[in-house]
Amino acid sequence: MVNTDYYEILGVSRDASPEEIKRAYRRLARQYHPDVAEGDGAEEQFKEVTRAYEVLSNPEKRQMYDAGVDPSAPGGGQGFGQGFGFQDIFETFFGGQTARRGPVPRARRGQDALVRLEIELAEAAFGVHRELQVDTAVTCPTCEGSCCRPGTSPRTCEVCGGHGTVQRVARSFLGQVMTSSPCPTCHGFGTVIPEPCPECSGEGRVRARRTLSVDVPAGVETGTRIKLPGQGEVGPAGGPPGDVYLEVRERPHATLVRQGDDLHCSLPVPMTAAALGTVVSLETLDGTREIDIRPGTQPGEVVTVRGLGVGHLRGAGRGDLHVHVDVQVPSGLDAEQERLLRELAALRGEERPEPRLAPAQPGMFAKLRDKLAGR
């Protein structure tokens, strides 16, 4: 088994695409580069990230690594514990009892799983505890991972004698050559299952529905992944489980638009209230708040309320709430209202010629609000 988990070092899943691996490496390389990062361990972390990328970005090396051999380990790609070195390869082709590898373990690590989790804006802002139902593989309750019918046990393969490999001798221009390959009878395990478990058909695991408990921290956003170590599928023959990665998707809010840890919203205010000043009630994630509109507030002005945004994912505190004032100009005036406005305009010396255009369309802030909402 390989001791170093290169996937975990780069923070990607085992089925990550080459592009995901490249993006993860670029991000971590910038973070730990000795010319940028502070601390004595930055250089060593940079080397570790680079070594992980050199293996996982190369398809052949990645295939070797997924098969349990670390190609970057000392000894020309020898795996930890049971890999082939040059001497092993030489003896495999030219004979010798030491060329035989040990049998392949029947128990193997289970696969990682990716689960998508939808949350509301308020849950992203404050954090939430969730119980999730997932269909996964669990250890067979009948055979407890042994793959055998209760009361029976695996039997040593008679073809390979428990070695997991068989050797064949052939003649070539080099002379007599001995090759080694996995035993076709036991498939390299060294043992056979004479009576497979009837419940799992000799797999050592069955499909079942499990409940996962997860605490989603405040500050997550769409695309954030939360790792649940050891909560993935149990491997064949009761092998260790993989990991579960929760990928967060944040649902759009009816009135609030998120940008980073800050929130934005529009607040409609009548023209007269904007001119005279007022107090307007606004629904926020923290309940109803009173927003002070100062006299003479102009269209598009922003009132910032500190600490009513989204909680910071790393560190204490929260973002802010930015209230964009949408001054509403009255339309459809009756005769009396029009007369009063004309008198006000005269008093302020703001008389203008009669309009030649149709009533105005939605104003500047309406466009800003649509832009913030992504419309």
175 within a domain of the structure (yes/no): no
Q: How far apart are CA 106 and CA 153, in angstroms?
A: 13
185 within a domain of the structure (yes/no): no
Q: Choose the final residue of a domain: 30, 65, 83.
A: 83
Q: Choose the final residue of a domain: 83, 111, 142.
A: 83
Helix then strand count (H, E) for the chain reads 9, 15
Q: What is the pLDDT of residue 149?
A: 95
Single pTM value for the model:
0.60
Q: What is the pLDDT of residue 39?
A: 63
Dihedral sign of CA atoms 362, 364, 365, 366 in order:
positive
Taking each helix axis from N to C end, the angle separating 18-32 and 42-56, rounded to the nearest 10 degrees, works out to 170
206 within a domain of the structure (yes/no): no
157 within a domain of the structure (yes/no): no
Annotated binding site: 140, 143, 157, 160, 183, 186, 197, 200
23 within a domain of the structure (yes/no): yes
Q: How far apart are CA 311 and CA 176, in angstroms?
A: 71
Could you tell me the two tokens for 48? 């570790």
The total of structural domains in the chain comes to 2
Q: How far apart are CA 145 and CA 35, in angstroms?
A: 50
Going by the DSSP 8-state scheme, the letter that residue 58 receives in this structure is S
Q: Do 70 and 80 touch, CB atoms closer than 8 A?
A: yes
Burial of 213 (0-12, 13-18, 19+ CB in 10 A): exposed
Q: What is the pLDDT of residue 88?
A: 43
Torsion of CA 139, 149, 198, 137, to 10 degrees: 10
234 within a domain of the structure (yes/no): no
SS3 content of the chain, % helix, strand, coil (to 5): 25, 30, 45
Q: How far apart are CA 149 and CA 189, in angstroms?
A: 18
Q: What is the pLDDT of residue 75?
A: 47
Q: What is the pLDDT of residue 32?
A: 79
**CA 40 to each of CA 6, 26, 32: distance values in angstroms, whole numbers, following the listed order:** 22, 21, 11
* Domain coverage including residue 34: 1-83
Could you tell me the two tokens for 95? 């004979």
Q: What is the pLDDT of residue 338?
A: 87
Averaged pLDDT in 10-residue chunks for the chain of 375 residues: 78 89 87 68 83 89 79 53 40 42 86 94 96 94 95 94 85 68 91 95 94 94 94 93 95 96 96 94 95 94 96 93 94 89 86 63 56 58
Question: 15: domain CATH number?
Answer: 1.10.287.110
Question: 275: domain CATH number?
Answer: 2.60.260.20
**CA 182 to each of CA 71, 164, 179, 200: distance values in angstroms, whole numbers, following the listed order:** 21, 6, 10, 24
Q: Choose the final residue of a domain: 34, 62, 83.
A: 83
Q: Do 16 and 243 touch, CB atoms closer than 8 A?
A: no
Annotated binding site for Zn(2+): 140, 143, 157, 160, 183, 186, 197, 200
Long-range contacts (CB closer than 8 Å, 24 or more residues apart) made by 184-188: 184/159, 185/157, 185/158, 185/159, 185/160, 186/103, 186/157, 186/159, 186/160, 187/104, 188/103, 188/104, 188/164
329 within a domain of the structure (yes/no): yes
Q: How far apart are CA 33 and CA 14, in angstroms?
A: 25
Q: What is the pLDDT of residue 354?
A: 67
Could you tell me the two tokens for 316? 């204490």
